[in-house]
Amino acid sequence: MIVPGRGISFNIMKNIIRKSPLYKSFGYAFQGIWACIRKERNIKIHLGMMTLVIIAGAILRISITEWCICMVLFALVISLEIVNTAIEACVDLVSEERRPLAKLAKDAAAGAVLVSAIFAAIIGLIIFVPKVL
């Protein structure tokens, strides 16, 4: 209980201190990432493309700004793929039969990944094509 002028009560402080350590939160996050990489085909494709872009960027000596753009795009596409996987898992968990809203949720999440991947590819072409020509 917070009393005006007295700050946070002892019980609230005990609950805050009892929370899981930060390193455990990071551990859970990495478990989620590795689970997606192990089980999802599409994230493997995205990671393969990311590897090719990194190799091409090193060979063609892209600028720091171009590297930053690539890194943001990598993070965007991979993050959306992980969110897509989470949404699909949640939908499958709550609905075993086919339902229009379940389909909409899955399709919209997959669409978000597709949009980001298409724009990442277009931006990649804008960065890399002039260096090859």
Confidence label for 24 from pLDDT (cuts 50, 70 and 90):
confident
Same domain, yes or no: 58 and 31? no
Confidence label for 9 from pLDDT (cuts 50, 70 and 90):
low
Same domain, yes or no: 77 and 91? yes
CATH number at residue 75: 1.10.287.3610
What is the spatial distance between Cα 102 and Cα 87, in angstroms, rounded to a whole number?
10
Share of the chain above pLDDT 70, in %: 85
Range of the domain at 34: 1-39
Same domain, yes or no: 16 and 55? no
Tally of domains within the chain: 2
Same domain, yes or no: 20 and 48? no
Catalytic residue among 81, 88, 96, 97: 81
Q: Per-residue pLDDT tens for 36-56?
A: 999 999 999 999 999 999 999
Q: How many helices (H) and strands (E) does the chain have?
A: 5, 0
Mean pLDDT for 100-126 is 97
Q: What is the pLDDT of residue 1?
A: 47
Q: Is pLDDT of 2 > 80?
A: no
Closest listed residue to residue 77, CA positions, set 50, 39, 107, 106? 50
What is the spatial distance between Cα 99 and Cα 63, in angstroms, rounded to a whole number?
48
Whether 88 sits among the annotated catalytic residues: the reply is: no
